[in-house]
Chain A
Amino acid sequence: MLTRKGKYGLKALVYLAYLQPGQFNLVGDIAAKNNIPKKFLDAILGELRNAGFVQSRKGKVGGYRLARPAREIMVGHVVRVLDGPLAPIACASRTRYERCEDCDETTCQVRHLMFEVRQAVADVLDNRSLAEMRDIVGDDELAAIIKYQN
């Protein structure tokens, strides 16, 4: 399930997707506008930079910006980096698999259903870009956000 880290990361990226392409934004600003603790956001943006979703620049006019156009960054790809495999329960993950002590996994109906859930989650998240996520809100909300930014 989406952790707080995943949620904050997505909020920060969508916020960056509103900005003029190429414009850097200070972590402090991103954190303040989105109600994210700055220290936590520092760590999150560091991870997103390592994965190649954002770029950073040091200094007074520094900060973060998207490394690629928002329509090329898929939400599911970001979530995998921040939260790991898209697996609703640990026994449905093959790379971060944890065995349940209390059930037989070959016959566990919960596990089988969760495989299906995971597929459905991936189908949604891997087919939505940051740009689409940004555009989910209507023009009025958008105007409010832009006003809020300035």
Chain B
Amino acid sequence: MSAGNSIVVIGGGASGVILAAQLLRSSDPSLRVTLIEKQSEFGQGFAYSTNLPVHLLNVSALGMSALDDDREHFWRWLKGRNLLPDEPGPFYAPRSLYGEYLRELLDEIAAQEPVRLRLVNAEAVTLTPASAGVEVGLANGVSIIARKAVLAAGHDRGPAAGQDHARRIELEPPGDPSSTVMILGTGLSMADAWLTLQHRGHQGNVIALSRRGRMPMPHRPSKPITLDSAEIPLGTELSYFMRWFRGLVDASKEAGGDWRDVIDGLRPFNQKIWQNWPEGAKRRFLEHTKAWWDIHRHRMPPTVHQQVSAAVATGQLTLVAGRLLKVSGEDGSHVVDVQRRHSRCIEKFRVARIYDCTGIVRDVSKGSIRIVRSLIDQGFARPDPLRIGLNVTTNCAVIDANGQTSDRLYAVGPLTRGTFFEIDAVPDIRTQCAWLARQIAA
């Protein structure tokens, strides 16, 4: 495979499948794309591997096309299978359907491209530069040579550092349905975990803990304001930007609008705003503002919000604002010491299980994705200054330990969070993949 343009994509979840689809739009007959996925199923990834019908997409069907230049692709797929509801309005499809959609998309491409696309079911564990390309070592001992490689490793499924008692709910068999359990985090994953517990018939109390104890806002129809980057303060300190932002929200409300109109109107510029901030502003944002931003920006389908709010109202679900101090074990249960927000006293919770829903942003060098750790250990990649992803250029090229930009190793999706910030959701990932595909498979 030395001739022509061979590209290996590591990770066959949402971002890997979307990228492969975009790469194969190239008309180059010598192009070879190898997609490597460690799970048995392609297209599922982290977000779409759930099979519970209550787990819904947090973006409406019209926003979820895998193809950047065909925005209604997913919507048509649903329509073609009579899966769209009769009533008009935004439709938040079950996430398992999205996994199926991606798998079908990949199957379709695989059937059309028997020569140019190769699917490999194995875990990629090492990646080393080779003459005029890269060599990817698989866990089964085989290695793959290609001109270029793209890391599409997605979200880390491992437990968060320092949360040894916490488990991912989807990996745990159901426990005693009458027991009290704790969920770490109050964001979108918390809502998913709560829905999983409901589905399993859990009757006991559920305590959800986060620093602020606030859960995401619901979606409502919004009319995004039209903005232009010429009007957005760029490169300022965070406080200055936030003052401008609040002023815009107030003005929008005064004109009869809603804060959602501003958040949604700003979305096309989020990456630009992030990239132009000085590092101090980025750091402060992650530390102080992100929790607040996330509950407004990453909203829940209204039906999910209603269900979760109802559980809070009846007391079955309690949202606690505070910090987890320590966890100790006693007779098969956990005692969790929590310091309530704005309080010095320590409260003890006795719970049977602790579920990790602390979110997806964490130190990449301490993560559980083997190939990413291997790249960092060997100096072929390094964490970004904020350590929330890999250090990559705005062209998605990986930067090594010496600050050299690679001409053959790229990354897409959540791994590029340090540079692109909002790169967890399909609408952003597909745009990034389409752009990168044009650069490397022209």
Partner-B contacts on A (CB < 8 A): 50-53, 67-68, 72-74, 76-77, 80-81, 85-87, 93-96, 115, 118-119, 121-122, 126
- CB proximity of B264 to chain A, nearest CB, Å: 14
Q: CB-CB < 8 A to B278: which residues of A? A: 52, 67-68, 72
A73–B298 CA distance with the chains assembled, in angstroms: 31
Decide if B226 touches A77 in the complex (CB within 8 Å): no
With beta carbons under 8 angstroms apart, the residue of A67, A77, A94 that contacts B234 is A77
The answer to whether A94 and B240 touch (CB under 8 A), given A74-B235, A76-B234, A87-B231, is no
- CB proximity of B419 to chain A, nearest CB, Å: 16
A20–B111 CA distance with the chains assembled, in angstroms: 64
Given A50-B239, A77-B236, 14 more A-B residue pairs with CB atoms under 8 Å apart are A50-B240, A51-B233, A53-B235, A74-B276, A76-B234, A77-B233, A80-B233, A80-B234, A85-B228, A94-B227, A94-B228, A94-B231, A121-B230, A122-B229
- CB proximity of B249 to chain A, nearest CB, Å: 12
Is B110 an interface residue, CB under 8 A from the partner? no
Decide if B240 touches A81 in the complex (CB within 8 Å): yes
- CB proximity of B255 to chain A, nearest CB, Å: 11
With beta carbons under 8 angstroms apart, the residue of B226, B230, B236, B276 that contacts A53 is B236
Is B237 an interface residue, CB under 8 A from the partner? yes
A113–B381 CA distance with the chains assembled, in angstroms: 46
A126–B233 CA distance with the chains assembled, in angstroms: 11
Name 9 A/B residue pairs within 8 A (Cβ), A-sorted. A51-B233, A52-B237, A52-B281, A74-B234, A81-B233, A81-B236, A86-B231, A87-B231, A94-B231
How does the 8 Å CB contact mask read for B232-252 relative to A, with 1 for contact and 0 for none? 111111011000000010010
Chain A to chain B: the 4 pairs with minimum beta-carbon distance, closest first: A52-B237, A77-B235, A85-B231, A86-B230
A59–B240 CA distance with the chains assembled, in angstroms: 25
Smallest CB-CB separation from B252: which chain A residue? A95
Q: CB-CB < 8 A to A73: which residues of B? A: 235
Q: CB-CB < 8 A to B335: which residues of A? A: none
Interface centre among A51, A68, A93, A122 (most CB of B within 10 A): A51
